[in-house]
């Protein structure tokens, strides 16, 4: 007799619908957590601190930074904030630090003050190393030279400020006033009046290399005129002779 072969049945395929449903639920859960997180207060900016500035108001820096309490903490990068703040002319450098949760610290370094300018209204402006003028406040300590006779848009003013920034503070503090004094040979010629009662004639392009000579003359010579151009010259001031009383009386009777 022939034995009957058992019928082989196809293996039953397991349904994968359960795994797909689980994956969808996990994905929805992650999305829900993300939505809740980015709408929670922990993901918002809570404080924006500004430090390091001297002339710029903190409110102006915050406005330029375009970030405030309540904004998304992850909505803007530190580098983007720094780039916006660098557009402020008095700013030489800026560093923005973000600390989770919600803290943003802005540290600003302004260009140094190299001089002051006095307006027709008697108000002082601080002149920075890049030539920018900013209000100096109601009672500034004028320990730098006063610039007189300069126009705010004069390109030589920027060159002068850069030259002054390279001069040691001790020498710069002796400068009382700086005026433009152009000539046919030197369009950038200037006249400097010092607190030690010297009158210095030089050029902006020569100032950095002539400062040592100027200091040497001031240390050993009485007040006078120092010319520091192609050739260096010094001439003491000639004291005025007192008038003869007899001559004065004779002139008044005539």
Q: pLDDT for 21-66, tens place per residue?
A: 777 777 776 766 566 555 555 678 889 999 999 999 999 999 999 9
Pairing of strands 224-228, 199-203: parallel
Q: What is the pTM of this model?
A: 0.75
Widest distance between CA atoms in the chain:
172
Domain limits, the chain:
44-110, 113-236
Helix (H, G, I), strand (E, B) or coil at 39: helix
User: Is residue 169 over pLDDT 80?
Assistant: yes
30 to 27, 34, 39, 189, 215: CA distances (angstroms): 5, 6, 14, 71, 72
Report the chain's mean pLDDT, rounded to a whole number.
85
In DSSP terms, 95 is beta-bridged to 107
Measured from the Cβ of residue 185, the count of other Cβ atoms closer than 10 Å reads 9
In this prediction, what percent of the chain has a pLDDT beyond 90?
Answer: 58
The model's pLDDT over 171-220, given as tens digits with 9 standing for 90+, comes to 888 999 999 999 999 999 999 999 999 999 999 999 999 999 999 999 99
CATH number of 44-110: 3.10.20.310
Query: How many Å is the Cα radius of gyration of the chain?
Result: 37
Instruction: Spell out the CATH class of 113-236.
Output: alpha beta
């Amino acid at each position: 007799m022939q034995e009957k072969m058992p019928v082989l049945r196809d293996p039953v395929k397991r349904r994968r619908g359960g795994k797909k449903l689980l994956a969808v639920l996990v994905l929805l859960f992650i999305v829900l957590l993300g939505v809740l997180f980015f709408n929670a207060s922990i993901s918002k900016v809570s404080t924006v601190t500004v430090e390091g500035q001297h002339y710029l108001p903190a409110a102006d820096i915050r406005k330029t930074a375009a970030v405030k309490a309540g904004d998304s903490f992850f909505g803007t990068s530190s580098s983007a904030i720094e780039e916006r703040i660098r557009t402020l002319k008095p700013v030489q450098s800026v560093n923005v630090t973000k600390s989770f949760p919600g803290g943003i610290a802005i540290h600003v370094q302004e260009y140094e003050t190299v001089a002051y300018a006095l307006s027709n209204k008697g108000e002082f402006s601080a002149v920075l190393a890049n030539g920018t003028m900013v209000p100096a406040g109601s009672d500034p300590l004028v320990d730098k030279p006063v610039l007189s006779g300069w126009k705010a848009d004069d390109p030589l003013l920027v060159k002068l400020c850069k030259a002054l920034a390279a001069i040691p503070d001790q020498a710069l503090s002796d400068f009382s006033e700086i005026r433009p004094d152009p000539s046919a040979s030197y369009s950038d010629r200037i006249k400097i009046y010092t607190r030690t009662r010297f009158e210095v004639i030089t050029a902006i392009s020569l100032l950095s290399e002539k400062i040592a000579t100027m200091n040497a003359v001031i240390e050993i010579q009485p007040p006078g005129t120092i010319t520091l151009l192609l050739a260096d010259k010094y001439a003491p001031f000639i004291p005025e002779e007192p008038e003869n009383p007899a001559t004065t009386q004779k002139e008044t009777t005539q």
